[in-house]
Copies of this chain bind each other. A is one copy, B any other.
């Protein structure tokens, strides 16, 4: 089974594609980043992000997607831009892959190291070890995305311990309600 992990971002979005084999082993098929230029407007950057995500989905056709939840402690302004990017990422993925899961940073750390507050270096070493990479995956965003994919690969076998969202059951049942109020007032 092929799992796509995503670490959301507007300037740099990390992605990691992991194959979970029948013997339980996991291997990295690909990892990297989608980048958008800072001097471009937000709407255009969002459209570029969608295009980048679609290229990854086209290339690997993942059966399941794991997206990291946002966690802000510092800059709210940056956080809002990342949240807008994350909305586009969720939309693009759910349109192509019904099985979409969200994990908090703490859940990902817990799943990979057994400790919800593991530091970045430890996490990256665990990711490299599990995937038998010769070196720590770079950049950090790609390593984070691989960690999200591995978190899903590891927890899904326990009945989706941390699988907050399983889109399959809900997708396609509902349509948006557009309510016009014009007639009442004009």
Q: Which A residues form the contact surface with B (CB < 8 A)?
A: 28-37, 40-44, 46-52, 55-56, 70, 72, 76, 79-80, 83-88, 90-91, 93-95, 100, 102, 133-135, 137-139, 142, 165, 167, 170-171, 174-182, 184-186
Contacts and interface: CB of A to CB of B under 8 A. Distances in A.
Contacts of A86: 84, 87
Nearest to A86: B84
Instruction: Please give the count of copies of this chain that the complex contains.
Output: 2
Contacts of A79: 80, 83
Contacts of A80: 70, 72, 79-80, 83
B87 A133 contact: no
A87 B76 CA distance: 16
20 contacts: A31-B181, A32-B181, A34-B176, A34-B178, A36-B174, A43-B90, A43-B91, A44-B94, A44-B167, A46-B91, A47-B94, A51-B175, A55-B176, A72-B76, A87-B87, A87-B88, A133-B185, A137-B181, A137-B185, A139-B181
Nearest to A65: B43
Given A52-B176, A84-B84, 11 more contacts: A41-B165, A43-B167, A44-B171, A46-B90, A47-B94, A52-B177, A80-B80, A87-B87, A133-B186, A134-B186, A137-B185
Contact of A174 (B32, B44, B95, B165): B44
Contacts of A29: 182
